[in-house]
Amino acid sequence: MDNITPSVDVSHLAAFDLDGALGEAADRINHGTRKSFLRNAGILGGGMALLSLLPGVARAAGGGLPKGDIDILNYALTLEYLESSFYAEANRQGALSGELARFAKAVGQHEDAHVQALKQTLGGKATKKPRFDFQGTTAGKDTFAKTAMVLEDTGVKAYQGQATNIRTPAVLKAAISIHPVEARHAAWIASIMGSGSSPAPDAFNPAADMETVLAAVKSTGFVPALASAPAGDAVSGQPAMTG
């Protein structure tokens, strides 16, 4: 099913009215590590960097979203850009066939829809799409399948790791509607790959924090801007996202 329209409407987030409790959220989450990552990846626009110095302004300008939620949404958007570009390239290459081709097409559409929904939510605060280099992984069935599995497994962990950091109920609802879809993708590709990879390897899915995920993304070399960042910059070791 080519469901491009978000069934969870996140567009109304722009009008979300903040309650006072959200104000303290920005202080609670450590932004240092992520900011440096986002800058290195060319993800942080000049305006956003400036706004981050002015917490009150950041809230008002973010469509009413607290800064922590904007960071999380931009982090999710970056991962969705990565996935969506990966499947778009794989579909263009045409090396896939059978169920693998069906998977790539369907999942590519989902990731596009996630990108659109997140961009819509973030409005002017949406980070730009970085340049990707998938290192030839989209050119063959095996490398495509293995890479897709890693990307999807990572996506599940990433969304799961942010659930407790999100302050705005509407953002949580949106994230929690994407999270199980990433899990479905992960299981689907594992099922296609057959024995040796379990669609549901554990009774409890592991979560991953932002630093862990970004370090993993960096290690793939798929984001050239990240690869040239100073070593350790994306991983400061700060347990910032365990709130």
Partner 1 sequence: MTPQTSTDPDGRATPPDPTIDRFDRGEAAAEATAALRGTTRGELFRRAGLLVGGGAIAAGVPLAIADAQGGLSKRDVEILNYALTLEYLEAAFYAEAVDRGKLHGEAQRFASVVAQHEAAHVQALKKVLGGKAVKAPKFDFQGTTGSQKSFLATAQVLEDTGVSAYQGQAPRIKSDAVLASAGSILAVEARHAAWVRDIIGGGGDPVPAPSAFNEPKTMDQVLAAVKKTGFLQ
**What is the maximum alpha-carbon separation in the chain?**
53
Among positions 192, 216, 223, 226, the unique one binding partner 1 when judged by CB under 8 A = 192
CB 83 within 8 Å of CB 123: no
Report the nearest approach of partner 1 to the CB of residue 243 (Å).
7
Tokens of 4: 């491009």
3-class DSSP state of 14: helix
As measured in angstroms, the least distance from the Cβ of 227 to partner 1 is 29
Relative orientation angle of helices 32-40 and 210-220, to the nearest 10 degrees: 20
By CB under 8 A, is residue 243 in contact with partner 1?
yes
Q: What is the dihedral angle through the alpha carbons of 184, 180, 221, 112, rounded to the nearest 10 degrees?
A: 90
The Cα–Cα gap between 139 and 143 comes to 7
State which of residues 184, 225, 235, 236 lies at the interface with partner 1 (CB under 8 A): 184
> Which of 135, 153, 139 is closest to 220 using CA atoms?
135
60 near partner 1, judged by CB under 8 A: no
Contacting residues for 199 by C-beta, under 8 A, at least 6 apart? 186, 187, 188, 190, 191
Helix (H, G, I), strand (E, B) or coil at 158: helix
Applying CB under 8 A, among 67, 125, 167, 185 the residue interacting with partner 1 is 185
Q: Is 12 in the site for partner 1 (CB under 8 A)?
A: no
Phi then psi for residue 185, to 5 deg, are: -60, -45
Q: Is 216 in the site for partner 1 (CB under 8 A)?
A: no
Decide: is 187 part of the binding site for partner 1 (CB under 8 A).
Answer: yes
- Residue whose CB is less far from partner 1, 5 or 232: 5
Query: What mask of x and - would describe binding to partner 1 in positions 100 to 139, judged by CB under 8 A?
Result: --xx--xx-xx--xx--x----------------------
Q: Using the rule CB under 8 A, which residue among 200, 221, 228, 239 binds partner 1?
A: 200
Residue span binding partner 1 (CB under 8 A) among the ranges 18-26, 48-56, 180-188, 220-228: 180-188
What are the residues binding partner 1 (CB under 8 A)?
1, 3-4, 6-8, 99, 102-103, 106-107, 109-110, 113-114, 117, 156, 160, 163-164, 169, 172-173, 176-188, 190-192, 198-200, 202-207, 243
